[in-house]
Amino acid sequence: MLSIQDVWLRFLRVLEVVDEAVTAGSYEALEKGLARELSALGRELIQQAVEAVDERLREHAGERPGWVIVRRNDVKELLTPFGPVRYGHTYFRNKATGEYRYLADDWLGLTPHARVAPSVKATLVEKAAETSYRKSGQWSWNAAWQVSGQTVMNAQYH
């Protein structure tokens, strides 16, 4: 997880962005700078949280009875409201059933093979009610990402 010092340094960076925008007299620079810095912080916090859950499951066998580690640090990318987040997670096998799972994803409520966060799916479905699938997939509040019309359609029906 991020240390208090890391969070403080990030907060100071946000204040620098505010100061630069105010000094320049640009509301647009303020808005864009804040969106960029806060999105970066959001992506990092999500990555750290998922990896912390994964580490806890890896280190404490009592929290995953019957599951053994198969592979560590498989990389997954998930589209979040803050933009794409890449994180490492551990692949486990259940000794009794032979089932394979990423337990950190299960713990957090992410379905297997999910590439889009549930909150982003909900937003895409809302937008699809107003416009085409293709145009819905091109929308993001900070224009940092886009998805295909097929992904929007899949979000609506799954």
Domain ranges of the chain: 4-115
Inter-CA distances, 108 with 46, 105, 129, 136, 145, Å: 11, 5, 28, 26, 23
Strands (E), the chain: 67-80, 83-94, 100-101
Q: What is the pLDDT of residues 117-145, one digit of tens each?
A: 888 888 777 776 676 656 666 655 555 56
pTM: predicted TM-score of the whole model, two decimal places: 0.78
Beta bridge partners of 92: 69, 101
Task: Please tell me the total number of residues recorded for the chain in this structure.
Answer: 158
Express each pLDDT in 11-65 by its tens digit. Answer: 898 899 889 988 988 888 888 888 889 989 899 999 999 999 999 999 999 999 9
Task: Name the residue type at position 62.
Answer: G
pLDDT at 50: 94
* More confidently predicted of 49 and 6: 49
Highest mean pLDDT, choosing among 21-25, 38-42, 100-104, 107-111: 100-104
pLDDT value of residue 21: 87
Nearest to 49 by CA among 84, 7, 81, 2: 2
At 107, list the tokens: 């713990």
pLDDT of res. 119 = 85
Q: Which pLDDT does position 139 carry in this prediction?
A: 58
Higher per-residue confidence, 145 vs 90: 90
